[in-house]
Structure 1
Amino acid sequence: MAYKFSKLSGLENTLTYIAAALVIWKLWNDRRTTNKKNRARKEEYDQAMEEYTRRLAEWEKLFICMRCGHIFKP
């Protein structure tokens, strides 16, 4: 059986290619947006980690009494 070429099959192929192009375009734009969001989250994480490191360094300078829990600052 031979493949029949008709206007309908050509239109279906065109619509399929357009749909595929739209899906690829949408995924590409979502990837770019996601990268921007990830960069913003990474900056927030880095700031929070710097704050945590600073607070940890301050805490390590303290002396805590093992009997009563009193905190002595040098």
Structure 2
Amino acid sequence: MSSAYVAPSIVLTDSPPYVPSGAQAKPSDDNVFISTYTYTEFTLTMNATGSPPVSIRPLLQPTEAPQAGDPFLDP
């Protein structure tokens, strides 16, 4: 059984060129366009998993200044 390798071909387009169905009317007044603009709203589903953030109490404050060579001073 022998199968010859065929190199893939590069496709430069993934869809046919856009052809408008008719004359495209451009709005002359922004207020008219905004008042007639329509859109579709979709309900967002919140799916929160995991633990809540650790913010139950304030963070502890340092009791002394960092010393030379402390990793806090040299990120």
TM-score by length of 1: 0.23
After TM superposition, the score normalised by the length of structure 2 is 0.23
**Which structure has the highest strand share of the two?**
1
Higher relative contact order (CA 8 A, sep 6+): 1
